[in-house]
Every structure is written in C-alpha cells, then in structure tokens.
Structure 1
Amino acid sequence: MTSLWMEETEIQSFPELTQDITADVAVVGGGMAGILTAHFLTEQGMQVVILEADKVGNGQTGKTTAKITSQHGVIYQKLLQKHGEEAAAKYSRENQKAIDRYEEIIHDRKIECGFVRCPAYLYTLESPDLLKEEAKSAAGLGIDAGFTGDTELPFQVSGAVRFEDQARFHPLQFLQSMVCGLTVYEHTRVLQAEGNRLVTDKGSVSAKKIIFACHYPFLNVPGYYFMRMHQERSYVLGLGQAPTLEGMYLGIDRENAWSFRSAGDHLLFGGGGHRTGENRAGGKYELLKRKAQEFYPESKVQYQWSAQDCMPMDQIPYIGRFSAETPDWYTATGFGKWGMSSSMAAAGMITESILGKGDDTEVFGIFSPQRFTPSASAGNFCKDSIHAVKDLGRRIFTQGRSDLEELPRGHGGIVDYDGEKVGVYRDEEGEIHLVSAKCPHLGCQLEWNPDEKCFECPCHGSRFDYMGHCVDGPAQTGIEEDRTHKSDGHSV
C-alpha cells in the first residue's frame, strides 16, 4: 500500500533535464529539505535548480509520520553531558524555530495542510527516572517541557515527558504549495559530482553552490558518510475508526516503542523498527495489526507503509559543508527519525551560510559535518564497522539462506544456485526472478525483506525491488540481473 499522504495528494509533475545548464545553486533531492532550501534561496533572488531522481515528495517525505517537533527521543540530557550547554541550546533552538517557521509559511501562503499545534510525548512503561531527567534537561534549555503521568494512550504508563506547542501536518499538501514557482527536473538522477558540475543521466548542471539534500549522500569520497551513519526502517498503519488523539506519542522502551498521532480521520500507529537488511523473518505489519486490535478493537487498517531513516553515530544530523575539501558543497543528512523539523532547520542554516550571514561555527555549530566527537560516537562507530565487516564477509563465506525449490509463491531470499549466491523471488504466478546478491554500492551481500518484497543492504541501507531496480540509495544503480540461468527457463 502507499502512504496516506501519497494517496491523498498528487504533486504536479516536472520535466526531465534535457541539456547542459547553469545556475547559482543546484540542489540534489526533491524532498522536504531540498524544496525548502530552494525556496529560501529563490526568495533571496538566487537562480536555483532542483534535480530529483524520481518525483518530488516520493522519497522519505511521502512516508514520514510528519511530526514537527524538537522532541527527538531522549536526547537533551545526552547533548548536555557530551557536548555542553551551548551546543545543546543550539540544537533545541534550531528545532523549536523550525516549528514556528512552518507555521509562519503556512499562514502567509494560506496552505491547507492540516497544520495543528499539539503536545508531543515520550512515554515509558518501565522506570520513569530517565524521562524525569529528560524533562529537567529540556526545560533547562528553555523548552516548555514537563514530566507527567497522564496520557491519552490505551494503556497505563509509568511516566511521560510532555513538550508543549509542537505540531503535526500533511507533508505533501504543504510541499505541493512550496514547489510552485521552483525550477525542478524530475526523473533526473545525479550520477557524479565534479567540482562545481553535476553529471546526470540526462545532462549536466554547473552551479556556484551544490547542496546534497538527497536523504543519503551517494558519494563515498569525500565526506565518508557511509562510515558515519547507518539506515533503519520503521512501519506505519493508518487506522480508521480509531480515537482522535490531541497529542503525539513515542515510546522509549525496547518492547513498547510505539508511535501514535492523529491525521484527520485516521490514527497513525507505528513501530517494528529495525536496521535495514535485518528483517529476514518479516512480520512487522502483522505485529502492528495485532497490537492495533489489542489497543483499538474497533479500528480498521486502511493504509500501511514503511519509511527509511539515516541514523548518525551521535544522534545529531549532518548539516553544513559537505567536506573540508569541497567548500562549495553542502549537505543535509542523518536526520534520524525527525526529518520534518530537521529539514526546516537545515534549509535555514544552509541558506544563511550561502548568503554569508556568519561563519560555519556560528551558523552550523553542533550540526556541522566537520565535527569530531569520539566520546559521543565511538560506540556506534565500532558497532557500524562490525556490521559492515560482517556483511561483506557473509557474501564470501556463508551459504545462501533459502532453497530455490522450496520458495513458496510471493516469497524471496538469497540462495546458492549453480555454485553462485543469487537473489531470487518467486512471483504469485510461480515465475522465478533472479538478480545478483551483491550490492553495487560497496559489495555487501543483500538480504530479503519479506514485508516490503525488497532486497536490502545491511551495510549502508541501499534497497532494490525484486527485479533489481534501485529503490533507495546510497546505491545509484540497480543490481545486476542474473542472466546466466535463462536457459533453465527462469525469468530475470
């Protein structure tokens, strides 16, 4: 199924790039971060071009739960401990400002997008001590936050942090308005970046400044972002005949980390998250459906979808100069699961930098991709490195996970076939589809996700449909079709 947002909204189409062009600024990516940055720069009289590999809003922006909040999990006590009060205040200030800026734009442009101010909660069913400390840390930074035991949830909590005056909205209805008047080229995938020139599959763009707002930077060098974050998936149900909640909720416990928010006549209920490439058993949607029936017996599942998020090592997005070697390149990535507020914050900061309204330390601060915080990220760096080594080794040393002849219809997996490891999917008609099991990004072995019927890379999160087409980067190409078995009567 598609998301509620994508079902209800059809954003206008834009042409493909057909020739070499020039611009003041080139933005890679037509999601929320790219469109907002282009909007702000265009308002300042700059000539901006947006290059989108698919369609505007069809990436993670169309799959978000669309909470606009500065409440990003249990983060403020960690920021204070590891980075200090000034850095923590910068983080809270930029995200609080993002909420206000959305409201201001929506009011000025009279955008009908269901924008509602509402409280945001973190809750626990276990010890409340961590959330008591989080409420104290957030309040100390000027956020209107407090600890409470009262919620609208269908179960008793031991405690919750309540942030006042946060917001929710319909992201694609908002984007539909924001894209008007911008220069966008859709179905134009950027393949290379060479100095101030972007090379696409349709032509090239030369620009004084280049902004990579494409969810995950596809360039390995410079920047080395593939070493600094991993990707995770999460799942959402759109429930009809469910209660309307005033607040937005997120659990912090391992076993009860459910997400709740109302969206018009629907209740969005999410959870079941996992590192991309680690869902071989599947069953995430079924888990959500069982819990939805437990919490709201009268509810009906009307939508289901999943999203993918880039998870930085220290929980802080990378917003700023792409690398020290490329002063005219910028990036906005690593938003965790908070892409709406982070997109607005990134757009504002990158615009300020390009307009020369302060040096990098002043403008980006704690968000700068040039930061080096070993104490804050060493554990996750080691964990991600172990994952990458393990998954590279898996392709060489381990056997396939499924038997080709035993795969039922509608299922896929990684199999050993004629002495080779391949990805296989048996469609509903019984026809077999074979693809390479090797990710084209850095060569890791792919894994099958039965909930999405996709092959996924556990190393860096690239995803491919069962025909081998690239669904999510950092890979920029599809996986190779396995054409060596056509004589056996198998379809590729």
Structure 2
Amino acid sequence: MESVWNHSCKFDNRNSLSGNLETNVLIIGAGIAGLLTGYLLKEKGIDSIIIDAEKICSGNTENTTAKITSQHNIIYEKIIREFGLEKAKQYAYANELAIKKYREIIEKNNIDCDLEEKDAYIYTLYEDDRIQKELEAALEVGIKAEIVHKTSLPFGIRDALKYKDQAQFNPLKFLNFISKDLEIYENTRALEVEDNLVKTDKGEIRANHIVVATHYPIINVPGFYFTRMHQDRTYVIALENAGDVDGMYIDLDKNGYSFRNYKNLLILGGASKRTGENKEGGAYDNLRKKAKEFYPNSKEVFNWSAQDCITPDGVPYIGQYSSNTPNLYVETGFNKWGMTSSMVAAMIISDMIVGKENEFNEIFSPHRFDFTASINQLTKDGIETIKNFSMQKIYIPKEHIDHVKSGEAEIVEYDGKKVGVYKDLEGKYHIVSTKCAHLGCQLQWNKDELIWECPCHGSRYDYDGNWIESPSIYSLSNADGEK
C-alpha cells in the first residue's frame, strides 16, 4: 500500500534524539500540522524542535487527497445554526486565509509542488434541500459559491454546490521544501508530558511551549479529547486511463465517492468507515468495482487509506490543550479537511506563542465544547466507547485457534486470555492481546489492511501488535503478556 504522494517524493532521513535538550518551542508530530507550525514560527523569528515517533510525514499526511479548500462538506449552515453567524464567518475567513497562505508560501519560494487552481464541488444525485441551504450559508459568510447542474463527473448529477478559487497540490513536495531548515528528530517517541518537560524514548526535552500535533492527542488528561472525538478511515485508489474531472468533488451522501486528478491519474476515494468497523473488508473492492463502472478502461496503480479525527460539531480543536495548561497547545479534529485546517492551526498556535491575537481563533478553541453542542453525535460516540469496554469484559468467543483460516483473523480465548489471532498465508500464527494499549477497548480486525484497530479512539497495530497510530503510544501485549 503506497500513496501517489509517497511514491513521488522522499524525505532525507533525520537523526533520532540523543540525550537531553532545551528549546523555546517543542512540537510533537512531524506531519503537516507540526511542520507548518514550525515553519510559521520560524517566519516569526522563533526556533523550534520537532519530534516524531516515526519518519517525517509518515502518518496520515502522506495519505491525504490533498485538497486545499474551504469547502468542508455541509458545514457553514451548521455552524451558523449552532454558533451564530459571526463565528461561522471566523471559520470561513480562517480557511480562505489558509488557502491564500499556501499560495503565498509556494509563490514566494517558487516551490515545485504541482499546485493547481481548481473549483471544489459538493454534488448530489438526488433532490436535497441541504445544497440550497449551504449555498445561502456560504454566501452569507463571504465565500464565492454557486449551484450548477452539470459537471465533468462520469455520471449525471442533480445539483452541485461549486466553490470557486480553491486549489490542490502534492503535499509531500511542499512539505519537503518547508521542512529543510527545521530541526527535526525522527524515531523519537514522546511518552510523557510533565509541565514543561517532555520525556521521550531517546531523552528529555524541556521547552517553554509545547505543541501536540500528533493527529490524535496522546495526552489523555487534561483535555479528555478521547471523550470528544472518534476516528474514521477512508480508502483511496489512483487510476490510469480515467477521465479528467476538472475539479475536486465529494458526494453529499456519506456513502458516496470523491474525485480529483493528479497529473495523469484520477484519485477515487470513498468507502469511509469508523476505525475498527471493517472486519469484513471489501473497501478497496468496492472502489475497484466503481472504477470499472465509471472508467471501464482504467487501471489501478496506487491504493492507500487515511484516518481522520471527527469532532461532534465538525470544527477542529486548536488552541490551549486545557484551561490550566497555558503553555501546552493542541492541533486536532480536522474532520477530513487537514490541508486548510493544518494551516489554520499553524497560524493560530504560532500567533498564540508570540502573544498575538487573531480574529478567528475563538471558533476553534478547544474550550468552546460543552455537552449540549451536537449532543446526538457525542452520545453516539460515548455509547460506542462504553459498548466496546463492555465487550472486552463479557464477550468470550468459543472458537479454538485451529479454526482460524489462513489469511484471516479471529478473537479467541487463549491461555485464559482474550487474544487476537491472525494466521498468515504460510500458516504461521500471530497472537496479540485484544486490549488496546490506550484505554483498554477491545480491538477489531481490519481485513483490508491486516491490522488491529480500536473502534473507541482509533489506535492501530499490526498483526504482531506493533504500534502504528495514536492515540496509543505503546505496542500491544502479546500472548505471553510481554510488551
């Protein structure tokens, strides 16, 4: 599994941390949000250190569809309804400014990252009054938009809401350039934050300001972000010999498909599922089936998947990590719109660190959240978490390990413990605890990617139990209880 971005761009290796350091600003996470924050701080004359548990941009940044847009599905009507017109204008202005900032950086430095001006569309195959309502909301907050009835998609539509003057690019080519002069330590995993001290597996770093840009926050308390987000996983294939759709598209239907081109490729996405809910697999097969339907002569050349943190109200959490940690900051909950949201986060956090106020940080504040906002989604997420904790305690399958078929995985009772058993195609068993190393939820198998996933908060592990993705920072126990 490899994205087109990863195939087209490789980063130079960086050293791991060796010993203890002190710095003004420490950024945990070398994905797009962390790198942009470091870059904007450097523009302001502030040096920083960035650490990452793996390689630069080796997480979700390399698996994006890379749409630089303020069109975030149906969002503006909802923000106006829940937060009021002024805060909706803040959200729109921040994301439009983010698009402008990308252009400014790219043009100023003459960065070759395949930047293209493209319109963005939300389309629907059926009559749906949400399109008209979102048009009215978009116009009210100052975004240039219109409804069209014909597109370059390989099928007819009913309506499409078109946002003008948006963009797309190759994110890794862009980030490769802006990261060259930043101090970055790879393969350096943050384990604990105590006041102004971050303990890693390679040493300790003391900092005046600490930014957590790890996609999903790795610190449970304070902040309690695990109670106010879940994670979705979206699957993508890139096709040769497919059409030029002349724009960036998403379906209003959550089960629909997204489209954009990159050079001679058509990037087709969809099959989104909550992380931990892909036991039966078939996400890629669904996309391949649709590819043959839409583009009979097409050929798949890449496939990949990306994970996104979803907030109950659809707005990211950007700002102080909690009300009692003034020098600890968070950038998370980008709701599948990580390109502009990362730039917004970098602008807000870099301003906060230098003591500058901006006119749009209020809507993104993590402290805006209360249990009355989007209560239905919050309740749904809470039920999912409670359900999976309960499953860990009461559900005990009766299968024996010999019943697991080659190429498949099962949760079984083994040696008095509930474990996950994957049998590879050579007949070797891979046995791990099904208890997530984050908060103990029962893991579920992802058949498409041969990975154990947490349906509560989105941690992921390979079939040998090795850590892949936060919020967990540890690998799984194996069948003997080792780590």
| Alignment TM class, shorter chain as reference | over 0.9
- For the residue of structure 1 that corresponds to 2:38, the secondary structure is helix
1:269-288 equivalences under 5 Å are: 269-288=268-287
Give TM-score scaled by structure 1 length: 0.96
Q: Which residue of 1 aligns with 2:123?
A: 123
Aligned residues of 2:316 and 2:333 also touching (Cα < 8 A): yes
2: CA distance between counterparts of 1:416 and 1:269? 40
Counterpart for residue 489 of structure 1 = none
- C-alpha displacement at 1:372, in angstroms? 2.7
Map of 2:328 onto structure 1: 329
Instruction: Note the C-alpha offset of 1:150.
Output: 1.3
What is the identity percentage for the equivalent residue pairs of Structure 1 and Structure 2?
44
CA distance in 2, matches of 1:55, 1:402: 39
Q: Is the 1:229–1:311 contact (alpha carbons within 8 Å) kept by the matching residues of 2?
A: yes
Structure 2 gap ranges (5+)? none
Off by >6 Å, runs of 4+ in structure 1 = none
1:429 to 2:415 alignment: no
Residue 207 of structure 1 corresponds to which residue in structure 2?
Answer: 207
**Partner of 2:145 in structure 1?**
145
Instruction: Note the alpha carbon deviations across 1:85-115, whole angstroms, 9 max, x for none.
Output: 1100000000011111101111111111110
1:300-329 CA deviation, whole Å, 9 max, x = no partner? 011111100000111000000110110001
1:371-382 correspondence runs (5 A): 371-382=368-379
Moved more, 413-422 or 170-179: 413-422
| Contact in 2 for aligned 1:82/1:375 (Cα 8 Å) | no
Paired residues for 1:102-251 under 5 Å = 102-251=102-251
1:51-74: CA deviation from partner (whole Å, max 9, x where unpaired)? 111001111110000001001010
Describe the SS at the equivalent of 1:327: coil
Using the TM superposition, give the Cα deviation of residue 405 of structure 1 relative to its aligned residue in structure 2, in angstroms: 2.2
TM-score (norm 2): 0.98
Amino acid at match of 1:292: A
SS in 1 for 2:366: coil
Q: CA deviation at 1:274?
A: 0.7
Larger CA deviation: 14-23 vs 44-53: 44-53
- Following the alignment from structure 1 to structure 2, what is the Cα–Cα distance between the partners of residues 157 and 434? 48
**Aligned residues of 1:284 and 1:451 also touching (Cα < 8 A):** yes
Whole-Å Cα distance in 2 between the matches of residues 418 and 200 of structure 1? 34
Give yes or no for contact 1:283–1:451 (8 Å, CA) kept in 2. Answer: yes
- Correspondence for 2:392 among 384, 391, 395: 395
CA contact (8 A) 1:128 1:160 kept: no
Give how far 1:401 is off: 8.5
Matches of 2:250 and 2:172 in 1, distance apart? Answer: 22
Distance 1:134 1:287 in 2: 29
460, 469, 478: which one aligns with 1:481: 478
Equivalent residue, structure 2, for 1:452:
449
Q: How far has the Cα of 1:420 moved from its partner? A: 2.7
Code of the residue aligned with 1:473 in structure 2: it is S
Q: Distance in 1 between matches of 2:361 and 2:403?
A: 54
Aligned partner (choices 347, 362, 366) of residue 363 of structure 2 = 366
Superposed CA deviations along residues 188-232 of structure 1, whole A, max 9, x for unmatched, are 000000101111000011111000011011111000000010011
1:30 matches 2:30: yes
The aligned length equals 483
Q: Which segments of 5 or more consecutive residues in structure 1 lack a partner in the other structure?
A: 486-491
Q: Which amino acid aligns with 2:473?
A: Q
What is the match of residue 417 of structure 1? 414
Measure, in 1, the Cα distance between the counterparts of 2:113 and 2:197.
Answer: 36
Note closer, same or farther for the CA distance 1:82–1:462 as it changes in structure 2 (3 Å cut). same
Task: Tell me the distance in 2 between the aligned counterparts of 1:144 and 1:12.
Answer: 40
**Which residue in 1 is equivalent to 2:45?**
45
Question: CA contact under 8 A between 1:126 and 1:253: conserved in structure 2?
Answer: no
Question: What is the Cα-based RMSD across aligned positions, in Å?
Answer: 1.5
Pair 1:11-2:11 in alignment: yes
Contact 1:117 1:168 in 2 (8 A): yes
- Whichever residue aligns with residue 150 of structure 2, its letter is D
The answer for the alignment partner of 1:472 in structure 2 is: 469
